[in-house]
Structure 1
Amino acid sequence: MSTRYAIILAAGQGTRMKSKLYKVLHPVCGKPMLRHVLDQIGKIDFTKKMVIVGHGSESVKACVETDAVCIFQKEQLGTAHAVLQARGELAGLAGTTVVLCGDTPLVRAETIKKLIDFQEKEHAAAAVLTAHAGDPAGYGRIVRDASGNLSRIVEDKDASEVEKAIDEINTGIYSFDNQLLFQFLEQVGNANAQGEYYLPDVLALLIQADEKVVACTTQHFEETAGVNDRAQLAAAEKTMRQRINHEHMMRGVTLTDPDHTYIDADCLIGQDTVIQPGTIISGKTEIGAGCLIGPNARLSNCQIGNESIVEQSVIEDSEIGHAVQIGPFAHIRPESIIHDQAKIGNFVEVKKSEIGAGSKASHLTYLGDAVLGCDVNMGCGTITVNYDGKNKYQTHIGDGAFIGCNANLVAPVSIGKGAFVAAGSTITESVNDDALAIARSRQTNKEKYAQKLNYRVNQ
């Protein structure tokens, strides 16, 4: 098998994005555009992978991690100049080099491999991936000769009116004989409207030298579309979302309304789980089998076990067990663990707490910095008072404890196994196992006194 190399161009700032974030780092379905490209080329056996960085180089390097060698381009003088930065790594080596752009998040490994295989099968010096665009404005046009062979590529700003009418465009993805690539890169000039060194000019030079250059056409234009502004970013997001949703449905997940379901690229969902409309699943969320999620749920970086229900609720950076019921209108904040068969009901907020198996907080409860055992019942309106204005403290509640409605558990405090806290109590001291705790003042009724308050309207 031939030796293969990959170069990703990611040095541009992307001024049309009008953003402080560098273009290739803008996310599509929860993942930076550049990361999508890296993940796809990671499916192909490349000997070397290089990313050409420039603007925001440190941030871009952090995105690349150890998946490729980052090469710094001090001045951005065009695509040919960018590729030339890799000569220290590649010049003189035999093999095939693929050049891609870091702002094409929809490109797939299958398409890249098809281009490489086509070039190598044709024994060509280079192959360019082309597509037919409904609106080719902004793209380089593919000019063919009378026999239909590639003649040249003309950039949009340099094209004549006749050439601008051509709808076959250069996607900016190429496969080269590596030695010829670096031999002819040195000959590229910048006599054009932009004063830049264009990589497509290498193809023209190869053709002039009677080297074979071929065009490989893909039927999937949207896959090769570059992202240069926010409108194109939204279009890429929509296409990627449709692709992701389709893949989940093919794996046995039910999406009752795919057009209104939003799932990030790195999420995993088990078979027979049903995702209802308005649901947003982001980050590295993992959902088990047989769950019911939504409608209008938002899950971020969480793990959810099998046969759990999450209805109209928010879960962030937390772990949810099997057969758990959450919602409607619950909020599970980061670093929470909800064990099997627990119930977190409507208008319950859980923050950095562990809820034991079978325990229930059915409604209108705040559990912050709490550790609950198994089969604990938290009454309506109960609050773990975890903050004294400076520090956070924990509340511990033992197995089988019953906490009555409208109780305040002032941390740090422990409630023993099987203990009972009477409704309306404010608990400031620990409660032993099986004890009854009552902490409320005695009721006093003053007969006829309400008449003296004179608060009634229209007496």
Structure 2
Amino acid sequence: MIREQMKIAKLYDLTHTLAADYLAQYEFPWDALQGISDFLIQLGSSLDENGYEKRGENVWVHKTAKVAPTAFLNGPVIVCRDAEVRHCAFIRGSALIGEGAVVGNSTELKNVILFDKVQVPHYNYVGDSILGFKAHMGAGSITSNVKSDKLLVNIHAADGEIETGRKKVGALIGDNVEVGCGSILNPGTVIGRWSNIYPLSSVRGCVDPDSIYKRQGEVVAKTV
């Protein structure tokens, strides 16, 4: 994947998130990770009180959303219309959970933007990441957001390395991406729209849009 394909405009349809204006300020999605917390606090204070109720410090939940009594929400958090936060979900903070999104049993979120209809429904960890419209992570798949050597994360574009300047970068996942069960998305992974990741994959680097990732070095274009 070349850096041009990694731009926010190439990965995401911004009509499917309350973060549209915020993300539109940036060219690349990893640059937006730093300001998610402040953005959510500002956005939350402007939400329609007829639609959203405040359930704690910087925690706003739409009145149509379903939040299990065993779920933990630490602000700033916004849970949008018709979203579902299931049993024992752990929202550590700085999370936008889009309209109709599903955050499942024992899933943990930290510093993330989930677009509308995103599903992270079973034992997922999603940190320092942005997931596009209708992206789905299979059971047990996670985003790894810190390198084992603790160095700053670089994005491995086909046309050169891109320095993020950040120690923590998870995955930047485009619209309609399917991540198979038990997969690990290593720090700084970028996955283009409409791509599929095989179960039990360890993805390092970037995956072109409309691709099928089978294993490292074996990525094929979709034919349909």
Query: In structure 1, what is the equivalent of residue 208 of structure 2?
Result: 432
What's the CA shift string for 1:225-283, capped at 9, x where partnerless? xxxxxxxxxxxxxxxxxxxxxxxxxxxxxxxxxxxxxxxxxxxx977x9xxxxxxxxxx
What's the CA shift string for 1:105-134, capped at 9, x where partnerless? xxxxxxxxxxxxxxxxxxxxxxxxxxxxxx
Alignment of 1:378-417 (within 5 A): 378-389=137-148, 390=150, 391-417=167-193
The percentage of aligned residue pairs carrying the same residue is: 25
Check the 8 A contact 1:402/1:420 in 2, yes or no.
Answer: yes
Alignment of 1:23-34 (within 5 A): none
User: What stretches of structure 2 of length at least 5 have no aligned partner?
Assistant: 1-47, 151-166, 218-224
Query: In structure 2, what is the equivalent of residue 143 of structure 1?
Result: none
Deviation at 1:439? Answer: 2.1
Check the 8 A contact 1:300/1:315 in 2, yes or no.
Answer: no
Deviation at 1:369? Answer: 0.6
Which residue identity lines up with residue 301 of structure 1 in the other structure? N
SS in 1 for 2:126: strand
State whether structure 2 residue 53 is matched by structure 1 residue 287: yes
Which residue identity lines up with residue 66 of structure 2 in the other structure? I
Question: 2:180 & 2:61 partners in 1: Cα distance?
Answer: 29
Query: In structure 1, what is the equivalent of residue 128 of structure 2?
Result: 369
Question: 1:300 & 1:365 partners in 2: Cα distance?
Answer: 25
SS in 2 for 1:334: strand
| RMSD after superposition | 2.3
Deviation at 1:300? Answer: 4.3
Which residue identity lines up with residue 386 of structure 1 in the other structure? N
Question: Which runs of at least 4 in structure 1 moved beyond 3 Å after TM superposition?
Answer: none
Question: 2:49 & 2:89 partners in 1: Cα distance?
Answer: 23
Check the 8 A contact 1:382/1:405 in 2, yes or no.
Answer: yes
Check the 8 A contact 1:360/1:376 in 2, yes or no.
Answer: yes
Deviation at 1:394? Answer: 3.3
Question: 1:301 & 1:363 partners in 2: Cα distance?
Answer: 26
Aligned length: 151
With normalisation by structure 1, the TM-score equals 0.31
Question: 1:386 & 1:438 partners in 2: Cα distance?
Answer: 22
CA gap 1:300/1:328 in 2 versus in 1, 3 angstroms: farther
CA gap 1:299/1:328 in 2 versus in 1, 3 angstroms: farther
Which residue identity lines up with residue 435 of structure 1 in the other structure? S
Query: In structure 2, what is the equivalent of residue 358 of structure 1?
Result: 117
Alignment of 1:1-150 (within 5 A): none
Which residue identity lines up with residue 214 of structure 2 in the other structure? I
Question: 1:347 & 1:440 partners in 2: Cα distance?
Answer: 29
Check the 8 A contact 1:377/1:400 in 2, yes or no.
Answer: yes
Which residue identity lines up with residue 73 of structure 2 in the other structure? I
CA gap 1:341/1:330 in 2 versus in 1, 3 angstroms: same
**Structure with greater strand share of residues:** 2
Which residue identity lines up with residue 313 of structure 1 in the other structure? A
Deviation at 1:360? Answer: 0.4
State whether structure 2 residue 67 is matched by structure 1 residue 310: yes
Deviation at 1:334? Answer: 1.3
Question: 2:85 & 2:116 partners in 1: Cα distance?
Answer: 13
Question: 2:195 & 2:96 partners in 1: Cα distance?
Answer: 23
Alignment of 1:202-281 (within 5 A): none
Query: In structure 1, what is the equivalent of residue 102 of structure 2?
Result: 343
CA gap 1:299/1:325 in 2 versus in 1, 3 angstroms: farther
Check the 8 A contact 2:170/2:185 in 1, yes or no.
Answer: no
**Structure with greater helix share of residues:** 1
Question: 2:112 & 2:62 partners in 1: Cα distance?
Answer: 18
Question: 1:329 & 1:287 partners in 2: Cα distance?
Answer: 21
Higher relative contact order, structure no. (Cα contacts within 8 Å, ≥ 6 residues apart):
2
Which residue identity lines up with residue 133 of structure 2 in the other structure? C
Query: In structure 2, what is the equivalent of residue 292 of structure 1?
Result: none
User: What stretches of structure 1 of length at least 5 have no aligned partner?
Assistant: 1-268, 274-285, 289-297, 442-459
Deviation at 1:332? Answer: 1.1
Give the greater-gyration-radius structure (CA): 1
SS in 2 for 1:393: coil
Deviation at 1:306? Answer: 3.0
